[in-house]
Amino acid sequence: MLAHRTQGKELPKGADAAWDAAVGIASSLVPRRTHFLRQARQVVALEADYVDLPDDRLREITGEFRDLFRCGRDTHQDLLRAFAVVREIAFRQIGERPFEVQVAGALSLHAGCITEMATGEGKTLTATMPAAVAGWQGKGCHIITVNDYLAQRDAEWMGRIYNFCGLTCAHIDGEMDPPGRRSAYRADITYCTNKEVTADFLRDRLALGRLRGLSSALLAKIADGAGSGTDRVVQR
């Protein structure tokens, strides 16, 4: 079976290896913030490609992105285009277009970084871009916030963006019964609190099969407003 595995790309040799090493060292010297801001400017520059498109065409594009990301055939340029599309959809649905710094924060989240944003910089809107991509990838995304009110508010508010993207959105609160929780966890994007998702994880283990599978695997998680006194957004 191993004999039939495709061979990976050969490692560079000689001058090519030296060049790759030099590029790697140079890239490591560039601060991550500068790196993500540079990419964010590219996303903002793509606005002109989508601003005049009708809603129907924009919906078709989101379907194309779903197929692309679900198959794992996306490139970095596809990611930038996807963020640009979600940015345009956000403006059409809730009247807010993410600023460059918010796009940079979204890119860093997608890269698996811990992103610190000051209060009022728009963490909730920032999270929509990597969350939409996670939904298109079929991973599902849990967005963790601090209380039930914010979980419901953000699910209803940002849900308009996700629904336009062809994604489902739900929230978890303390009053929901197990069937309702299972349904919410099956959504592409689920807003919940750290207390509820932790309690559901423990209930899932204590149920000994009766409620097994209550909370889905946390393949993608974004924490909105984590920490005490400092607002952070984290994706795993």
Angle at 235 between CA 233 and CA 236, to 5 degrees: 150
Please say whether the beta carbons of 202 and 208 come within 8 A: no
CA 146, CA 217: separation in Å to the nearest integer? Answer: 20
Residue-wise pLDDT tens digits, 19-75: 777 766 666 656 788 889 999 999 999 999 999 999 999 999 999 999 999 998 899
Q: How far is CA 4 from the centre of its chain?
A: 35
For residue 130, the SS3 value is: helix
Helix axes 32-45, 100-110, angle to 10 degrees: 120
Please compute, for residue 49, the number of CA atoms within 13 A of its CA located in the half-sphere on the CB side.
14
The model's pTM: 0.78
* 209 band by pLDDT with thresholds 50, 70 and 90: low
Going along the chain from its start, the domains and CATH numbers come out as 31-235 (3.40.50.300)
Local confidence band at 228 (pLDDT 50, 70, 90 cut-offs): very low
List, for residues 141-197, the tens digit of each pLDDT value.
999 998 999 999 999 999 999 999 999 999 999 889 988 998 999 999 999 998 998
Identify the pLDDT of residue 201: 82
**Residues found in the chain:** 236
